[in-house]
Amino acid sequence: MLETLDFLEIAQSYRAIFLDSYGVVKNHRGLIPGGSETIKALREAGKTIRILTNDASRSPEQQAARFEKQGLTGLAPAEIITSGMMAKLFLEQKVKGGKVAYLGTENAAHYILAANLNSIAVSKIDLADCSDITAMVFLDDEGFDWNRDINTTVNLLRKRNIPAIVANSDKLYPVAKNDVSIATGGIAKLVESILNRKFIHFGKPDTQMFNYAFEDINTQGNFTREDILMVGDTLHTDILGGNKFGVRTVLVLSGNTRAENADIQIRSTGIIPDYVCDSIVG
């Protein structure tokens, strides 16, 4: 299996291409070289495109603007589906009034505001007067002081019996060829472990985002699962989610999964992509 295949050749057989963002279209240095051309080629071939990303740090609009700035033009916000959007739908449906506390940048708080709720950064919380806080959301690993604000979060959740929501369950993300950084899900896990409690998690491998994208593209076209190809760099999120949703999956080796480990990881986890490519370029 681990002879890798040409991505564009595989993509020919599908009408819609779902792509993870980080590790697939971009990495810590920006767009992957040639990525822009691949997306353009997919467009020209008439493929419907959606980005499915476990990223709750920015709105689809901001993510689209960032792609644009990095050189990938023409990706519409409506083509970007984030785990933050799933969390937003949940907040909208289940949290009534009050203030929603969050860890993350101000940008990330977008998802709370979009749910028509008031937001408050954890750094702004007065633990002596927090009875109006109605939910806690883990949105990003940046934008706050870890020591001070993770501790405040622990104390908030000891005082207030409220839902805690993890808008991105990833534990790690790559920040350089060989280095990683603890992601939102890792921070949430620390708090869960300290409190001995399980929070509500969003993002791949849950099939919710796939379903959202599937229904979305079906408002315009008439797609079945056979028409769809999911492309990702992480077995236990992108590929497992795609496999569970019942679409074909491509593992690319340009991110979390290294070429030298791919075979053993695939066999030992049983998370088996339909195809393996070096990247969306190769």
CA distances from 4 to 12, 242, 264 (A): 16, 19, 15
Work out whether 219 is an interface residue with a copy of itself (CB under 8 A).
no
State the binding string over 258-277 for a copy of itself (x if CB under 8 A, else -): ------x--xxxxxx-----
Put the strands of the sheet holding 16-19 in their side by side order: 80-82, 48-53, 16-19, 228-232, 248-252, 275-277
Binder of a copy of itself out of 5, 182, 216, 281 (CB under 8 A)? 182
Binder of a copy of itself out of 40, 69, 158, 258 (CB under 8 A)? 158
Binder of a copy of itself out of 147, 219, 220, 222 (CB under 8 A)? 147
State the binding string over 221-260 for a copy of itself (x if CB under 8 A, else -): ---------------x---x--xxxx--------------
Residue closest to 257 by CA, chosen among 242, 238, 282: 238
Which positions lie near a copy of itself, rule CB under 8 A? Answer: 86, 89-90, 93-94, 127, 135, 141-142, 145-147, 150-151, 154-155, 158-159, 161-165, 171-172, 178-182, 186, 189-190, 193-194, 196-200, 202, 206-208, 211, 236, 240, 243-246, 264, 267-272
